[in-house]
Amino acid sequence: MKILSIVGARPQFVKLAPIAHALAPGGHEHVIVHTGQHYDANMSDVFFEDLDIPAPNVHLGVGSGSHGVQTGAMLSAMDGVLDEHRPDWVLVYGDTNSTIAGALSAVKLHFPLAHLEAGLRSFNRRMPEEHNRVLTDHAADLCLAPTQTAIDHLIREGLGERAVLVGDVMTDVCLSVAAQVRDSAPLLPEGVDGSQDYLVSTIHRAENTDDPEQLRSIIDALAALPIPVVLLAHPRLVARAATAGIDLKRGALRPTAPLGYPQMVAAVLHSRGVVTDSGGLQKEAFLLGAPCTTLRTETEWTETVDLGWNVLRPQVDDLAAVVMRPRPAPSTASPYGDGRAAEATVATLMRHLR
Ligand code: UD1
């Protein structure tokens, strides 16, 4: 079987790792296409190195741009790549502009398309990720869903016959990396003592970073928290804060460059909790036993909220009380699978081979 994976943004490299590892033993051919959406070494290369992912076979080098420019550049570059490699499956991941560009390129050239992490919904039509995931699911021949909730969404949209529950590949990689780093001290920025309470925070979504007033109120609230906040600063946050004249280095805030995956897992494992607007990190916090506060009005990972490990807070007025809340009782539920979703994904792709 020949699979062509299209990735480009940081969370997709994490999801690619277990898929690349699960494809290797079966003698399958795996072509990796990197769109270049993320290009800084700490947003891209470190993931390939740390997670032992083979170097991309093709690099489109698209870089940043408005949604239309970025997506269009990927789409126009993909025709030649698909024509050359002629895969049995094009596999796209998650909900970024690289996902929708990859999906469109595959359906237009009639290559079978599988969408990994299908069926997630925020029902917030202002999020670019919501357009990307809905359109990709409706284009796909196979919707590989991480959770039963995702399957239910797909059924409701008339996609039940194409949907298969494979589990969540991020669980595979998160649990295996956690086992490797559990006993190592986290790499923390100056001014944070790993033996004392600290929080891990990431803020990068358009709805939180692009409006200077919203960004200012979030940064002010984080800076006023009673324990150090390790702020893993995405380039988008750094750029928007600089433009709006918002200082990220004050009060409780300890900004630092984005961490590699093992370092991020170690930092969360030893933390008092997480404050984020990331999708993936909400779930990683749950898997690693760190209470999460999500600075959004809704989440795609509703199980984390239902099980008491995640609290949604679009407004930050009472942030200190929320993030310092008592730890919930440990949960034995495993809504994100048992860490073997990549194997299930490969088996499903084989079973549905045309
Ligand atoms: C993208 C995804 C988002 C995902 C996130 C993970 C879309 C629509 N959004 O958002 O779903 O959660 O990736 O990080 O695809 N930049 C750099 N260096 C880089 C990459 C980006 O400096 O390596 C800066 C540029 O100023 C760029 C901005 O970050 O314009 C935004 O990058 P972009 O890829 O457009 O979206 P993300 O915010 O990273």
Tell me the C-alpha distance between 349 and 343, whole Å.
Answer: 10
Q: What pLDDT shows up at residue 330?
A: 86
CB 77 within 8 A of CB 98: no
Atom in ligand 1 nearest the alpha carbon of residue 40: 23
For residue 230, the CA-to-ligand 1 centroid distance in Å is: 20
Ligand 1 within 6 A of CB of 74:
no
Tell me which of 204, 234, 270, 352 is the catalytic residue: 204
Q: Is the CB of 102 under 6 A from ligand 1?
A: no
- What fold, for 178-323? Rossmann fold (3.40.50)
Q: Is the CB of 85 under 6 A from ligand 1?
A: no
Residue with CA nearest ligand 1 atom 28:
236
CA–CA separation, 350 and 338 (whole Å):
21
Whether 281 is in the pocket of ligand 1, judged by its Cβ within 6 Å, is: no
Q: What percent of the chain has pLDDT over 70?
A: 100
Among protein residues, the one with the nearest Cα to ligand 1's atom 11 is 96
Which phi and psi (to 5°) does residue 194 adopt?
Answer: -65, -15
Structure tokens at 16: 């690619």
Query: Which sequence spans correspond to the domains of the chain?
Result: 2-168+337-351, 178-323
Alpha carbons 37 and 67: distance in angstroms, whole number: 11
Confirm or reject: Cβ of 10 under 6 Å from ligand 1: yes
Query: For residues 286 and 308, what is the distance between their CA atoms, to the nearest angstrom?
Result: 10
Residues 124-142: tens digit of each pLDDT: 999 999 999 999 999 999 9
Of residues 254, 259, 255, 256, the one with CA closest to residue 269: 259
Amino acid at 316: V
What average pLDDT score do residues 265-286 get?
A: 97
- Look up residue 82 and give its amino acid: L
The span from the CA of 261 to the CA of 254, in Å, is: 19
The residue contributing the CA closest to ligand 1 atom 31 is 236
Q: How far apart are CA 333 and CA 149, in angstroms?
A: 14
What pLDDT is stored for residue 354 in this prediction? 85
CB 14 within 8 A of CB 38: no
**Class (C level, CATH) for 2-168+337-351:** alpha beta
For 248, the token pair is 């990220």
pLDDT digits (tens, 9 = 90+) for 151-166: 999 999 999 999 999 9
Report the predicted TM-score, pTM, of the whole model to 2 decimal places. 0.96
Report which residue type is found at 325. R
Q: How far is the CA of 219 from the centre of ligand 1 (A)?
A: 19
For position 191, what pLDDT does the model report? Answer: 86
Asked if the domains 2-168+337-351 and 178-323 are classified in one and the same CATH topology, the answer is: yes
pLDDT tens digits, one per residue of 322-349: 999 999 988 889 999 989 999 999 999 9
Q: Could you give the CA distance from residue 92 to residue 86 in angstroms, rounded to a whole number?
A: 15
SS3 20: helix
